[in-house]
């Protein structure tokens, strides 16, 4: 039985005792508040049964506590006029209840007291003032003093005070972010015709079509956002910095990354002008109510193209179906805004010629939007997030082995060897089958077969939660806080995996490591692969200082209608066109780096080590352990260092005594911080500060494997503890 249940049981008092105590307290307040009872009342209480006596003592404490609170409230309450007092008294009289409505008790409590079947009242720990809230606050504060979440050096994460991790560390539990996307319209459509899919392939969106619908884990996305840093565009994990790169979006989603930036004229147009553009490129004129500013309702677009394409459709009709389908992919998945039901019509200007559409860098544009959304979501007051969140989730599943679910793939979908790094023990090896399945071969034309999907398609299967729970923010946060080196796959795309990918996923791989700006109309975000060299198999050194541009994060389309973003961002467009001149290179990494590597020493001083609040031990639900493990690791490290210093201090017993004092102080403080100080032996006594040193020249007895017998001199220097 928990502490709360014990306290309630011990605080049960008879109904009659509560009534008698109330009469005594109302007639003689001072006597009710005293430590002892006098006169016949005391004798009556002495002769009463044990439960009644205990109940009277509890009622006495409770009545004194309530009366003091009421007197303090009256003293602090401002004076009221006579009319207000009269109305309040009248209202109070009208509110009197009979004994049945008030549970049969006449007490001073502001809320009706609870009662059991045997007529005993129940008090909570909060009502009695014996709860463990104060103890928890003391443990929380002590843990904050002992465990430093970081950063120690604010030269890199200079916006730490504005990050949501600071709010969480201070004890405020922020809810999960709402992930905004709209794929319902896509799911209601018929499967696109092969003629449409070939045009989608030419335009560069075939990979995102093959991904299909994968449920987003809002809690996983939120846990990753808590470690995303605006200052570096990287996730600050316990094992080092990591981020989503151009390589990830090409391999996982199959979007083209090599090409001109997705930008241009964002001219302000009237509703009739947008209707004309839709009629020319999409073949229908949407109603005025379906257009809001420069956005079109996707439900109207989906309803127009819900029917299958006619078999005798000409090329113009097929192009219109392809444009509509790509527009739904853009608004529902890639560039989803927070409206969840509209798509920006400014993208239509790039869909007129589908061959030219495929020459644009849609991958860098999608990555820029994801960076921008993640940066904005790091604010404590953010409640939702948009953008290509499926890329964020797939990236985490590919690299973070301890928080990803197990895939359960049907046997008939296995057409190639298993991926080497994904062979769970409890799941059949079929769960390791890659992304190739029979579906693509069944719908392919014999003369012109469609290619297979990108790597992200292998997650479009059933998931198993046997080993890893999902949709629990506290679990994800705790697992990331205590992450180990062997739980991070720095290079999931090995040669065997890349050999199975279609050519459109490998196009532009020579610029995967470019240090360049990513552009999508008003959005400009920097790509820094030099901070995550291990993701490319290179040795990570201390990276050079980076500037993500605070003014860039404040630039968006709001209030900038009619802006030509190609001209406004001319300097960044020029840098992107020179992207192959800024390729990052480095030395090959042959073995994992350890904690004492110069990079890790620097990184641990500038990073945010923990996200979860210190010593967070809630009464129900998942129990986080990251901060406790961190405190224990630090304490044990200090203990070992203190013992080593004593061993290197010579034969002077003072060093040994000081080491024992330090070890015991560290241990007791650590136990107190995690609320386990009751485990200390009650026989322990403080070690005196002034001790008589051993005679000069005498050495300590040689330690043996078994417990040694201590001489009289040694016993005086080491009191039993």
The per-residue pLDDT for range 221-250, each reduced to its tens digit, is 999 999 999 999 999 999 999 999 999 999
> Nearest CA to 267 among 519, 521, 517?
521
pLDDT digits (tens, 9 = 90+) for 287-328: 999 999 999 999 999 999 988 999 999 999 999 999 999 999
Query: Would you tell me the crossing angle of helices 473-481 and 626-647 to the nearest 10 degrees?
Result: 20
Binning pLDDT at 50, 70 and 90, where does residue 71 land?
low
What pLDDT shows up at residue 613?
Answer: 82
Backbone angles phi, psi at 234, to 5 degrees: -140, 160
Binning pLDDT at 50, 70 and 90, where does residue 69 land?
low
What pLDDT shows up at residue 4?
Answer: 41
What pLDDT shows up at residue 245?
Answer: 98
Contacts of 250 (CB under 8 A, 6+ apart): 256, 257, 363, 505, 506, 507, 508, 509, 512
What pLDDT shows up at residue 616?
Answer: 66
What 3-state class would DSSP assign to 262? strand
pLDDT digits (tens, 9 = 90+) for 518-560: 999 999 999 999 999 999 999 999 999 999 988 899 999 888 8
Binning pLDDT at 50, 70 and 90, where does residue 80 land?
very low
* 429 contacts 421 by C-beta, under 8 angstroms: no
What pLDDT shows up at residue 619?
Answer: 66
Binning pLDDT at 50, 70 and 90, where does residue 39 land?
very low
Distances (CA, A) of 29 to 23, 33, 46, 417: 10, 6, 21, 84
Cα 149 from Cα 627, distance rounded (Å) = 9
Q: List the end-to-end C-alpha distance of the chain, in Å, as a whole number.
A: 33
Whole-structure pTM value: 0.71
Q: Average pLDDT of 161-168? A: 95
- Counting residues of the chain whose pLDDT is more than 70, the rounded percentage is 68
What pLDDT shows up at residue 106?
Answer: 35
What pLDDT shows up at residue 99?
Answer: 38
| pLDDT(708) > 80 | no
Query: Comparing 59 with 488, which gets the higher pLDDT?
Result: 488
Most confident of 83-92, 338-347, 383-392, 437-446: 383-392
| pLDDT(710) > 70 | no
Query: Comparing 645 with 35, which gets the higher pLDDT?
Result: 645
Backbone angles phi, psi at 478, to 5 degrees: -70, -40
Q: Average pLDDT of 608-622? A: 77
| pLDDT(621) > 90 | no
pLDDT digits (tens, 9 = 90+) for 565-603: 999 999 999 999 999 999 999 999 999 999 899 999 999
What pLDDT shows up at residue 632?
Answer: 80
């Amino acid at each position: 039985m928990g502490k709360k249940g014990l306290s309630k049981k011990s605080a049960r008092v008879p109904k009659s005792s509560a009534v008698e105590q109330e009469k005594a307290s109302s007639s003689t307040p001072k006597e009710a508040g005293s430590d002892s009872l006098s006169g016949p009342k005391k004798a009556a209480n002495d002769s009463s049964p044990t439960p009644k006596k205990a109940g009277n003592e509890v009622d006495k404490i409770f009545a004194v506590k309530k009366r003091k609170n009421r007197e303090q409230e009256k003293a602090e309450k401002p004076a009221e006029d006579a009319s207000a007092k009269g109305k309040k008294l009248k209202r109070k009289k009208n509110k009197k209840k009979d004994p049945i409505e008030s549970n049969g008790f006449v007490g001073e409590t502001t809320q009706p007291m609870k009662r059991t079947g045997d007529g005993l009242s129940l008090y909570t720990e909060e009502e009695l003032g014996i709860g463990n809230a104060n103890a928890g606050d003391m443990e929380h504060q002590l843990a904050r003093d002992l465990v430093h979440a970081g950063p120690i050096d604010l030269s890199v994460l200079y916006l730490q005070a504005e990050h949501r991790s600071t709010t969480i560390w201070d004890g405020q539990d922020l809810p999960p972010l709402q992930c905004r996307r709209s794929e319902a319209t896509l799911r209601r459509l018929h499967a696109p015709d092969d003629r449409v899919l070939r045009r989608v392939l030419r335009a560069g969106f075939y990979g995102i079509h093959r991904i299909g619908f994968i449920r987003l884990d809002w809690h996983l996305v939120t846990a990753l956002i808590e470690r995303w840093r605006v200052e570096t565009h990287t996730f600050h994990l316990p094992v080092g910095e990591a981020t989503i790169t151009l390589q990830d979006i090409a391999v996982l989603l199959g979007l083209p990354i090599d090409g001109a930036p997705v930008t241009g004229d964002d001219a302000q147009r009237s509703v009739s002008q947008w209707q004309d553009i839709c009629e020319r490129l999409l073949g229908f004129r949407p109603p005025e109510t379906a257009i809001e500013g420069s956005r079109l309702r996707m439900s109207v677009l989906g309803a127009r193209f819900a029917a299958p394409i006619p078999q005798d459709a000409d090329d113009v009709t097929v192009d219109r179906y392809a444009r509509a389908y790509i527009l739904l992919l853009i608004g529902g998945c890639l560039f989803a805004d927070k409206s969840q039901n509209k798509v920006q019509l400014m993208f239509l200007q790039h869909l007129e010629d589908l061959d030219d559409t495929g020459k644009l860098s849609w991958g860098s544009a999608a990555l820029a939007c994801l960076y921008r959304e993640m940066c904005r979501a790091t604010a404590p007051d953010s409640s939702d997030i948009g953008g290509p969140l499926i890329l964020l989730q797939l990236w985490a599943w590919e690299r973070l082995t301890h928080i990803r679910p197990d895939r359960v793939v049907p046997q008939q979908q296995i057409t190639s060897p298993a991926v080497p790094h994904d062979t769970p023990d409890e799941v059949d090896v079929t769960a390791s089958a890659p992304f190739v399945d029979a579906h693509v071969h069944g719908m392919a034309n014999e003369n012109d077969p469609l290619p297979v999907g990108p790597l992200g398609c292998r997650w479009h299967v059933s998931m198993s939660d046997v080993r890893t729970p999902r949709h629990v923010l506290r679990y994800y946060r705790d697992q990331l806080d205590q992450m180990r080196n062997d739980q991070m796959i720095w290079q999931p795309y090995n040669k065997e995996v890349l050999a199975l990918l279609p050519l459109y996923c490998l196009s532009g791989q020579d610029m995967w490591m470019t240090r360049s700006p990513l552009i999508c109309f008003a959005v400009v975000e920097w790509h820094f692969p030099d901070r995550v060299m291990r993701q490319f198999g290179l040795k990570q050194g201390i990276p050079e200082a980076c500037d993500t541009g605070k003014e860039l994060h404040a630039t968006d389309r709001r209030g900038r209608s009619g802006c030509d973003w190609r001209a406004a961002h001319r300097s960044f467009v020029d840098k992107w066109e020179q992207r192959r001149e800024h390729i990052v290179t480095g030395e090959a990494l042959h073995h994992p780096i350890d904690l004492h590597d110069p990079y890790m020493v620097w990184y641990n001083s500038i990073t945010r080590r923990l996200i979860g609040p210190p010593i967070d031990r809630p009464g129900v639900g998942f129990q986080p352990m990251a901060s406790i493990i961190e405190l224990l690791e630090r304490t044990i490290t200090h203990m070992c260092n203190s013992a080593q210093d004593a061993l290197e201090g010579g034969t002077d017993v003072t060093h040994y005594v000081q080491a024992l004092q330090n070890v015991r102080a560290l241990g007791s403080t650590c136990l107190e911080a995690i609320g386990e100080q009751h485990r200390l032996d009650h026989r322990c006594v403080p070690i005196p500060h002034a001790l008589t040193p051993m005679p000069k020249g005498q050495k300590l007895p040689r330690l043996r494997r078994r417990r040694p017998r201590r001489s009289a001199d040694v016993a005086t220097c080491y009191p039993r503890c």
